[in-house]
Amino acid sequence: MLSSGISSEFILILVARVATFMLVVPIHESAHGLMAKWLGDDTAKREGRITLNPFAHLDPFGMVIMLVVGFGWAKPVPVNISNVKHRRLGYFLISLAGPLSNIIAAFIGAGIYVLTVYAGLAHFDDAAANENAMTVISAVMLFLRYFVTINVGLAVFNLVPLPPLDGFNLLRSFMPASFDRWVWQNYKYIAGAFVVFVLLCSRISEISSKFTYVISIVENWIWFALLKITALFV
């Protein structure tokens, strides 16, 4: 049995967020670098950013935000887009690689959960066990649920079109050079707006609920797809 001293659920959420940072953020950032390398730019590789070492990608503020509210960001991966043959398409694919890696990680976490259930090692309701009677298996299943939710949350959050998030770079891939010039001329104001945005998301339920709604839609789609796929083989 797990101790319910502070709150076993709170501890599991924190562990899931730490694990996400240590395991998934390096994959997210390395995915950007690998995609850039495949498309002709090895800047990220030369600067040591294609690595599973989480501290190579650490943005202190982004990490603290992720541990507190469940989503955050790392240092942007350096990309020299002039080395990429098809620049707009290349920049789009490089930017998309990060959020896509989070969705893949969510699928893997959900897949482990579903396979554990079908193997008879757990039940679907184990993750909803009362925390005062939580067993090791129910803790593992609850951890996997949080792991899926956090990864989906990171993917959705990173698609917001504000720097330094991937959504902004996806937007840039469709915009003219004048847009870039305007952005960098006003970067400090946009960066300030981003900080305000993060604070509002964490404090105002009317805003955070919109994110929660989108996250729940994506997460439900992942579970539905996995259950359908698993049913074909069971």
List the one residue out of 117, 170, 181, 176 whose CA is nearest residue 145: 117
Contact 151, 140 (CB under 8 A): no
- Show the tokens assigned to 161: 């079109």
Annotated catalytic sites, by residue?
29
pLDDT reported for residue 2: 46
At 181-234, the pLDDT tens digits run 888 788 778 878 877 877 777 677 776 788 888 989 999 999 999 888 887 776
pLDDT reported for residue 129: 52
CA 88 to chain centre: 24
Cβ count near 39 (within 10 Å):
19
CA 198 to chain centre: 15
Peptide bond into 78 cis (omega under 30): no
pLDDT reported for residue 15: 78
pLDDT reported for residue 4: 47
pLDDT reported for residue 6: 62
Q: What is the pTM of this model?
A: 0.81
Ordered per-residue pLDDT tens for the chain, 234 residues: 444 456 666 777 777 778 777 888 898 999 999 999 999 999 999 999 999 898 899 888 878 877 777 667 788 889 898 898 888 899 899 999 999 999 999 999 999 998 888 887 777 666 655 545 567 777 788 788 888 888 898 899 889 888 778 998 898 888 887 887 888 788 778 878 877 877 777 677 776 788 888 989 999 999 999 888 887 776
Contact 45, 37 (CB under 8 A): yes
